[in-house]
Amino acid sequence: MKTHWRLPKGVDELLPPRAWDLELLRRRVLDVFDRWGFDYIDPPLIEYLDALLVGSGEDLDLQTLKVVDQISGRQLGVRADMTSQAVRVDAHSVAVDGVQRLCYAGPVVFANPASPQTSRVQLKAGAEIFGAPSIDADVEVVGMMLEALGVAQINTPVLLLGHMGIYRQLVAELLKNGDLDPEHQAQLFNSVQRKAESDIRDLVGVTALSDMMVALPTLMGQPDILSKARQVLAGAPPIVLRKLDELALFAERVSAHCAAEIRIDVAELSGYGYHNGAVFAVYHPEHGRALAQGGRYDGVGEAFGRARAATGFDMNLKQLLVSSNGQGKVIFAPLPAQQELHAAQRQQVEALRASGSRVVNGLSEDEFAPSGCSHQLSYVDGQWQVVQI
């Protein structure tokens, strides 16, 4: 019987030429991060579990693969998100007093696929700014995120803006008034994420504040929806209204500095539960899921002993891999039959490679051009020329 090797369910692999396309996309995105002055970090794929789950919610815990370290006996986790690793680096590995900009690009592993069509192994690229509490940091992160999506040919994005502080402060008031059972907080979060108004009502009962929570998922659309939001939340505690004002200012500043179609979702609860300020996500008509998302998560580093202002984003580069033509032309250089031509051909091959071309050397006189080669280095009219196959 033949042995059939299979990959685990939800795990994929990239083969030529798509694997090269992904690597080239990673390089282009990192070039964007570099141009914006971000420093690159490469944290480990596995860490102690408690460090990976700092500040996160239950959903990240469920998505993290766990093993026992045979050396220490402690639980290790295979990362499903890289933000907590960047927080640890800012708090301990490269602790600076001022603003710090960090970026990364590496694989993450999910215990379960986010959807039936997505892989459990993703290539995440992202960036974080630490130590900058101003809205300018959030606007900069959004601007760089849109430029990075541009090199992936996402040129007409829809940018969704929200503010986690509005939801969090309403929840705090509901808990204080006894309108929400503390054990139901995770259910409420999931219900608001799904915009399930009837489920929200079942969890929060019938009060003025409860009505605001039920109405929260309906407050989405063009930026002028903020006027309706002010009417709906008019009776909310002042801190809720301040968060709404922060969202309005954020939308105004992003609109002035970034070229994207802007939408508002007051109940946008992106990420893994650690966000506590302005949040954002990018969508495109040709993609069913968010292409990039992020937001502010001030103070999460307190678990590492260093609470700092922080904002950032990440995106799955595999999801952005929409074309397989990133390599350009590939040139085949067949082994010359005449020995006297070898040296001149070798010089030409070296020159082509030095100029950035991809050249495959033939290893025998009867070798044919491999699949994927679009051009050939041929000796024509007394000189070496690159001709189309």
pLDDT at 323: 47
pLDDT in tens, 166-189: 999 999 999 999 999 999 998 999
pLDDT in tens, 322-348: 644 455 689 999 999 899 899 999 999
Average confidence (pLDDT) over 297-321: 94
pLDDT at 236: 96
Phi, psi angle pair for 286, to nearest 5°: -85, 0
User: Would you say residue 359 has pLDDT above 80?
Assistant: yes
pLDDT at 5: 79
pLDDT at 270: 73
pLDDT band at residue 2 under the 50/70/90 scheme: low
HEC-encoded secondary structure of the chain: CCCCCCCCCCCCCCCCCHHHHHHHHHHHHHHHHHHCCCEECCCCCEEEHHHHCCCCCHHHHHHCEEEECCCCCCEEEECCCCHHHHHHHHHHHCCCCCCEEEEEEEEEECCCCCCCCCCCEEEEEEEEEECCCCHHHHHHHHHHHHHHHHHCCCCCCEEEEEEHHHHHHHHHHHHHCCCCCHHHHHHHHHHHHHCCHHHHHHHHCCCHHHHHHHHHHHCEECCCHHHHHHHHCCCCCHHHHHHHHHHHHHHHHHHHHCCCEEEEECCCCCCCCCCCCEEEEEECCCCCCCCEEEEECCCHHHHHCCCCCEEEEEEEHHHHCCCCCCCCCEEEECCCCCHHHHHHHHHHHHHHHHCCCEEEECCCCCCCCCCCCCEEEEEECCEEEEEEC
pLDDT band at residue 272 under the 50/70/90 scheme: low
pLDDT at 271: 66
pLDDT in tens, 51-103: 998 876 677 888 999 999 999 999 999 999 999 999 999 999 999 999 999 99
Q: pTM for the whole thing? A: 0.90
In DSSP terms, which residues pair with 101 in a beta bridge? Answer: 129
CATH of 158-283, one of 3.30.930.10, 3.40.630.30, 1.10.10.60, 3.30.200.20: 3.30.930.10
CATH superfamily for 8-151+298-324 is Bira Bifunctional Protein; Domain 2 (3.30.930.10)
Instruction: Quote the mean pLDDT of the chain.
Output: 92
pLDDT in tens, 96-125: 999 999 999 999 999 988 777 789 999 999
Considering only residues 159 and 274, tell me which one the structure prediction assigns the higher pLDDT.
159
Identity (one letter) of the amino acid at 275? H
Average confidence (pLDDT) over 360-366: 93
Same fold, 8-151+298-324 and 158-283: yes
Share of the chain above pLDDT 90, in %: 81
The domain locations on the chain are 8-151+298-324, 158-283, 330-388
pLDDT in tens, 220-267: 999 999 999 999 999 999 999 999 999 999 999 999 998 899 999 999
pLDDT at 114: 76
pLDDT at 70: 95
